[in-house]
Chain A
Amino acid sequence: MTEHDYDSVMARKPAIMLGSLGLDYQPFMRDPIAFDYEALMGLVPYSIEEIRQVQAASGIGSTALIELRQLTQLARRLAPKGKGARIFVKDEASNPSGSYKARRASLSLHHAQRAGFKGVVSATSGNYGAAVASQAARRGMSCIVVQEVFDSLGIGQPEILEKGRACEIYGAEVRQMSVGPELFYSFLRVLEETGFFNASLYTPFAIAGVEPLGFEIVEQMQSVVGRMPDVVICTHAGGGNLTGTARGLRKAGATATQVIGASVDLSGLHMASDVDFNRKHFTTGHTGFGIPFAGWPDRTDVPRNAARVLRYMDRYLLLKQGEVFYVTEALARLEGLERGPAGNVSLAAAFALAQEMDEDRTIVVQETEYAGAGKQPSAQLTFARARGVEILRGDSEQEVPGKNVIIPDHPGRIKVRDMDMTRLRTSLIRKAVAGAGGGEISPEVAAFLAAETQTDESFVRAALN
């Protein structure tokens, strides 16, 4: 008889995952650390042009690139003379399910359908669930979304409730879970019971699906500005957004473009805490995902994660919650665009960074997401205030996640704050080696870890000492 207790199900994880992906990961598992990342991505048998065709058939991609002239103007007023880069945003909210996640879902489900799966399962905080459900609906496939929604009092924050509603509207069965990482246990059980496809965010298909986003940015910037973008900023959580975009940029020849990650700083809040769960006002694009996933990508639901941000991320900027809400307001009032939370994290970073760059430089914020009931600052902050979180004006630097949200009292308060990349890179290297039992590493492993972290062998060896 098959046992369904927590430990038994988790012990079957490798077998369940292998059967539910329709991909052979064996060649990538021979060495505990090193594997051929490009060969993994090579499991996707399509060129970027073919991917674009698959996506265009679902109305995905070819989103507008909008120049934010007023925000650029404002940044220039705050900046020293001659500074203030032009800011552009890619309007990914116009994808079918309202975010760039449609790109990831479409290629994954294209693959799942070809591999003969009748249904798909996704474990997600939300936008991806809606994207998978939307793509499943188009393809006549069944969809189950396992989503972390409530605390132990049965309360969910507006943004999460909205994401769950969106999954339901596309006909998905939504299993709404209370707080806890054992969501993964429930997810594995569903895969085992149904034999459905694991529409993981982290397969090569899910990442290759984002590459056209980076590719389009280059095409559009070439046509509008006549040059490659100098900086592209990606809101970062699990890492697929940045990884896929950066790969697309490179495929379009933008090898000199700086790729920057941005996350909301939620330090001090525990991601598995039933109490902290409803005291954060962003449900993705925050450090609770961003830092652990950057430092250790293989913490996920596939044998090897195809989203590996440290291979591509040149800088990682941290924003306060109040700064992002402020910029969301600025986007509406100065640009006439009401957009959902995730993209505004990068936008806040772009606004601060623009002031350090020359006027003739360019920054592309690579996404927006849809705004709807629950997703606005009004919804999230009304909820926060009712739970005793203070909403103040002042210096965002004083913000304490879970206690207050400080809306800047001046746009000049929005700051560039760098996460220490050396620390992240060192952490990845140490974790990889410790996970394989420690000891001396071969030149192949050293070269792999250097590629993983955009460093060199001497950095890798120094990190291990």
Chain B
Amino acid sequence: MRGILCAALFAFALPALAGGAAVADAWLRYIPGGTPAAGYFTLSNQSDKSLSLVGAECADFGMVMMHRTLERGGIFTMRPVHEVTVAPGKTFSFAPGGYHLMLMRPKHPLRPGGRLPITLRFADGSSLPVEFVVKSLQAR
């Protein structure tokens, strides 16, 4: 209920809702103890213009970044990503081992099974409130 309310408030507070952008399977893996959480989702562009995701915001974390995990020769690194562009009619997945929302400095413990409102921001100034499901560590 609180999540829905927050999402509604977010929607009013923001200049414009992103048209044609849809998100499915939004979830985050929460690790207890104040370490960063990773957010995953599938973004689809149902409009006839390209869609550029440029960031995300969440009131429950100190900072949210877009990251990509890269592997080269068995060495892993996370790199900040500033923009993800989805062509018209295409989808793009943030998934374990690839792209993720890096949710840093949780302001309070999260409850697995709960919901967390996160707002995605796009290059054209529009945004999209999304409800992420908080999953336990065992989620994959």
A binds B: no
